[in-house]
Amino acid sequence: MIHYSAKHPEIKALMKPDYNLVWVVVLMVLAQLTAFYLVKDLDWKWVVFWAYVFGSCISHSMTLAIHEISHNSAFGNSKAMWNRWFGIFANLPIGLPYSISFKRYHMDHHRYLGGDGIDVDIPTNFEGWFFCTRFRKFIWIVLQPFFYAIRPLCINPKPISRLEIINLLAQLAFDVVVYYLLGVKSMFYMLAGSVLGLGLHPISGHFIAEHYMFLKGHETYSYYGPLNLLTFNVGYHNEHHDFPNIPGKSLPLVKKIAAEYYDNLPQYNSWIKVLYDFVMDDTISPYSRMKRKLKGEVKQD
């Protein structure tokens, strides 16, 4: 926000790439490749176990690395295409093409937060209508990867871009190589880890914590718990929306510098509690989001 940086000009010094992100992502990809090899001959029960305990954490963390890359945090705005290619690379161990499409829709989320028919982070009317009981809300959490995948097609379909086709072809080629060289168990570990990590998983609390209105009048919430260490500080969400061009690594500094703006806002310290409260609180549902009718010209990626 302009008045933040006017009062705290030192915040502007944080608006630069995080080159360490490159090495962290490379190490995460190598960790998953190693895991693919190690699980290929395990009993199925252990493949499932490691997919949930380890693979899910790496996969969900990688989606948030891709979130960072979508903001050009790896190489900076002057090398935007380097970020796109690196996002495709980071996408590989997730198993499903995601990076390029996420970038296109996520920029809309920042420009038009809650924009009806534009921001695909907003659940569909069907989701709000159907997933209204405790049991159904629990199922909705389990199925979050599915709804995040189909929601753009329902709410705001866009023509397929050249980069999306490249993302798809690169992912298919990688998946074929994994299956051919390592077998079905490694393939299952990769895909199951991604689906499980984005569904009923502690890290998935951030999907709900970020913008669901547990308190009326407060649309965006930050989380300051330990899972920020695995998620590139995505929990610092008020800070991120105020300064989307500051890498996640530096968001705790934003909070420290401009503490008077953030310390008194509603905040979370447990994503698990967010998931529990979402299911058990009968006043909260997928409808608990701020939705806006947009006026004027809308520019989309």
Nearest CA among 112, 116, 102 for reference residue 71: 102
- Residues 182, 39: contact at Cβ < 8 Å? no
Sign of the C-alpha dihedral, residues 183, 184, 189, 190? positive
Task: Render pLDDT for 56-82 as a digit per residue (tens, 0 to 9).
Answer: 999 999 999 999 999 999 999 999 999
Q: At which residue do the structure tokens 């929306």 appear?
A: 241
pLDDT for 4: 63
Q: Give the DSSP H/E element, type plus range, for residue 244.
A: none
Task: Render pLDDT for 130-183 as a digit per residue (tens, 0 to 9).
Answer: 999 999 999 999 999 999 999 998 899 999 999 999 999 999 999 999 999 999
Q: Enter the pTM of the model.
A: 0.93
Residue 291: pLDDT band with limits 50, 70, 90: confident
Query: DSSP class of residue 115?
Result: B
Task: Render pLDDT for 81-102 as a digit per residue (tens, 0 to 9).
Answer: 999 999 999 999 999 999 999 9
Residue 3: pLDDT band with limits 50, 70, 90: low
Other beta carbons within 10 Å of 252? 15
Beta-sheet strands, E only, within the chain: 222-223, 267-268
**Which residues are registered as beta bridge partners of 222?**
267
Structure tokens belonging to residue 207: 């999907």
Q: DSSP of 12-38, one letter per residue?
A: GGG-S--THHHHHHHHHHHHHHHHHHH
Task: Render pLDDT for 5-28 as a digit per residue (tens, 0 to 9).
Answer: 668 788 998 999 999 999 999 999
Residue 262: pLDDT band with limits 50, 70, 90: very high
Report CA-CA distances (Å) from 118 to 102, 121, 142, 244, 293: 13, 9, 24, 19, 10
